[in-house]
Amino acid sequence: MSRSLGRMSADAAHQRTASEEEFRSYYGRRVLKEPVWEWFVPAYLFAGGLSAACAELAAGADLTRRPRLRKAARLGAFGGLGTSMYFLIADLGRPERFHHMLRVAKPSSPMSVGTWILVAYGPGVGVAAVAELLPSRLRRSRAGTLLGALARPAGLASAAVAPGVASYTAVLLSHTAVPAWNEARDRLPFVFTGSAAAAGGGFGMVCVPVDEAEPARRLAAVGAVTELVTSRQLDERLGVVSEAYRTGTAHRLRRWSEYLTAGGALGSLVAGRSRAAAVVSGLALLAGSALQRFGIFEAGVESTKDPKYVVVPQRRRVDRGEQA
Partner 1 sequence: MTVSRESFFGPLDDVSGDAGYTEHPQRVGFFTDTSVCIGCKACEVACKEWNLLPDDGFDLLGMSFDNTGELSANSWRHVAFIEQPAPARESSPAREAAPAREADAVDLGLPSFDLPGAGTGEETRTDFRWLMSSDVCKHCTHAGCLDVCPTGALFRTEFGTVVVQEDICNGCGYCVSGCPYGVIDRREGDGRAWKCTMCYDRLGDGLEPACAKACPTDSIQFGPLDELRERARQRVETLHERGITEARLYGEDPNDGVGGDGAFFLLLDEPEVYGLPPDPVVPTRDAGSMWSRAGVAAAAFAAAAVSVFFGRSRR
Q: Which of 268, 258, 128 is nearest to 203 (CA)?
A: 268
Instruction: Please state, as a whole number, how many other Cβ atoms lie within 10 Å of the Cβ of residue 248.
Output: 13
Give Cα separations from 211 to 68, 201, 278 (angstroms).
10, 14, 11
233-262 residues in contact with partner 1 (CB under 8 A) are: none
Taking the least distance from each CB to partner 1, the nearer of 49 and 147 is: 49
Binding segment for partner 1 among 60-68, 148-156, 246-254, 258-266 (CB under 8 A)?
60-68
Q: Please pick, from the candidates 42, 122, 155, 189, the single residue that binds partner 1 as defined by CB under 8 A.
A: 189
**Dihedral (CA of 300, 245, 85, 120) sign:** positive
110-169 residues in contact with partner 1 (CB under 8 A) are: 110-112, 115, 159, 162-164, 166-168
40 binds partner 1 (CB under 8 A): no
56 binds partner 1 (CB under 8 A): yes
Q: Please pick, from the candidates 86, 98, 256, 259, the single residue that binds partner 1 as defined by CB under 8 A.
A: 98
Q: Are 285 and 224 in contact (CB under 8 A)?
A: yes
The C-alpha R_g of the chain, in whole angstroms, comes to 23
- Shortest distance, position 191 Cβ to partner 1, whole Å: 9
Q: Please pick, from the candidates 51, 158, 174, 231, the single residue that binds partner 1 as defined by CB under 8 A.
A: 174
Q: Count residues near partner 1 (CB under 8 A).
A: 89
For residue 173, give the H/E element and its range. Answer: helix 142-174
261-280 residues in contact with partner 1 (CB under 8 A) are: 272-273
The amino acid sitting at 14 is H
